[in-house]
Every structure is written in structure tokens, then in C-alpha cells.
Amino acid sequence: MNTHGEYFKKLRIDSELTLTELSKNTGVSKSYLHDIENNKIVPSDKILNKLLNYYDLKKEDESKLRRILAFAKTPNIVLEEMKTLKKEINRKNSIIEKLKKVENVEQNISFIQDNDYKEIPVYSYVRAGYNEIENYPEPEESIKIPLIGARADIVGVKVKGDSMEPKFHEGDIVLIKVGIMPENREIGVFIVENKTVIKVYNRDKTGRVILTSLNINHEPIIIDKNIEFSIVGKFWKAIVS
């Protein structure tokens, strides 16, 4: 089912109901139901609850419907940005596959001297104002890694949740260059309303910042003037668990 209208129409037909009968059973006007099924409107939360209570869907079916509705409510400009981002991700994944042999060779290099390695703190979260000493949280652990090509302060942040799958999974460690601004469509670590998030940085034509996930089941975060937002750093490398 590609649209919310198709989904609601199938629910009604599978229940062997006419629009008139469904309207009578739910208290939602026939014209409103017609507009929903023809994708002219997205049901309000009040109307949606009435329909969900009537159909009594299974939990997984309700979750699927809510995801479809979330996309229907997403502004077109964000959807276009997400389509562009998906193409860019596919292109970069293709490049990554070609570079795997090179990466495997790098992993087998023996670093003899101690100064080839650096101990990196790994955090479960970071705070706004990270570069201020008093705002450093206690590291969860530390790891030693070879710093080839690193030209900035590097710290690790543990991934939580599934919003950046399939590239990152929960428990992976994302290494970031602290204080380095990600470019458009690059991955970074950010503070949004005092919460640490790992997202793809986007800036649309109006200059508005949109943080998107690689997992399409997660809605984008649109940063407006009322949202507390700061950039911790730019993604460098990842250590998978």
C-alpha cells in the first residue's frame, strides 16, 4: 500500500462497508472519509483514533499505517531532500564497497611505535558546549586506535537505537572530529533539545537545517528557531560492534 488513502479504502472494502455505512458506524462524515480515501486530506488525530478504534487493528498493522501517515504529513521539500539523500547514500555505499579491499589492507598494517596510536574517550552522550571543559561528561570507556589522516580532536560516541541503520547499529562507536562542521548531506553528531543524536545534516534552499535518519521509518528533525540545537562534530570513522 503506497498511500494512506489506499490503505483506508482497503480496510473499508475488506470490512464489506460502503462509505455511508462506515460514516454511520464511526460518526465521521461521508465526505471526510471520501477525501481521506482519495488522498485529499490526512486524518486528524481525533478522526484517526475513531477509525482505529472501529477497525481494532493489530499492533503491527497500526504501526504500518502510522508510518504511512507520517510520510503523508511530511512537507514535500523534506521528501525531495530525503530522495536526494537516498541517491547520495546509494552512491557512497557503492564507493565504500569498492574501497573495502583497501580498508582490509589498512586494518592489517602493524603499528610498531606507540605514537601511532591515540587513546580516545568514548561517551554514551555529549552535551551542548562540548568544547568547554566543565561540560565534558564522564567517558564510558576509552579505546586505542591508529590515527591515520586525523587532523582534529577525535572522540567516540556510542550509537543508540536503529535510526541510522543499515550503516550503524546500536552499540557501534562513531568517531567524530570535534568542532568540525559537517557539509550538506554528511553525517554528524548534534545536540537537539539537550539530546545527543547522530544524523545526516541537510540544509534546504531556505537555509533551514533538517536532520535525517538513514532508517526511513524515522521522521526527520526540522530545526527551527524554537529548538535548541548545536553541532558537536563531523563523522570520521565507525567501529562496528
In whole angstroms, give the CA distance from residue 108 to residue 103. 9
pLDDT value of position 134: 40
Assess whether the previous peptide bond of 182 is cis (omega < 30° from 0).
Answer: no
Strands 209-212 vs 221-223: parallel, antiparallel or unpaired:
antiparallel
Superfamily (CATH) of domain 76-239: Umud Fragment, subunit A (2.10.109.10)
Q: What pTM value is reported for the model? A: 0.49
In whole angstroms, give the CA distance from residue 150 to residue 147. 6
In whole angstroms, give the CA distance from residue 5 to residue 34. 9
Banded model confidence at residue 20, pLDDT cuts 50, 70, 90: very high
Out of 124-133, 158-167, 208-217, pick the least confident: 124-133
Higher-pLDDT residue of 60, 77: 60
What b/e string do you get for 87-117 counting C-beta neighbours within 10 Å, with b at 16 or more? eebeeeeeeeeeeeeeeeeeeeeeeeeeeee
pLDDT value of position 79: 53
Inform me whether the pLDDT recorded for 75 exceeds 70: no
pLDDT value of position 148: 57
For the chain, the residue count is 241
CATH 1.10.260.40, the chain: domain bounds: 4-73
Residues with Cβ within 8 Å of 111's Cβ and at least 6 positions away in sequence, in order, are: 117, 146
Please state which CATH number belongs to domain 4-73. Answer: 1.10.260.40
Q: Are 155 and 175 in contact (CB under 8 A)?
A: yes
pLDDT value of position 102: 42
Q: What is the mean pLDDT of residues 78-106?
A: 59
In whole angstroms, give the CA distance from residue 181 to residue 195. 18
Inform me whether the pLDDT recorded for 103 exceeds 70: no
In whole angstroms, give the CA distance from residue 8 to residue 50. 13
pLDDT value of position 191: 87
Question: One-letter amino acid identity for 66?
Answer: R
Q: What is the mean pLDDT of residues 76-84?
A: 61
Q: What is the mean pLDDT of residues 70-92?
A: 66
Q: What is the pLDDT of residues 156-179, one digit of tens each?
A: 888 888 888 888 888 888 888 888
pLDDT value of position 109: 37
Banded model confidence at residue 150, pLDDT cuts 50, 70, 90: low
Inform me whether the pLDDT recorded for 5 exceeds 50: yes
CATH 2.10.109.10, the chain: domain bounds: 76-239
Q: What is the mean pLDDT of residues 97-126?
A: 56
pLDDT value of position 205: 82
Inform me whether the pLDDT recorded for 233 exceeds 50: yes
Beta strands in 23-153 (DSSP E): 117-123, 141-146
Banded model confidence at residue 201, pLDDT cuts 50, 70, 90: very high
Inform me whether the pLDDT recorded for 78 exceeds 80: no
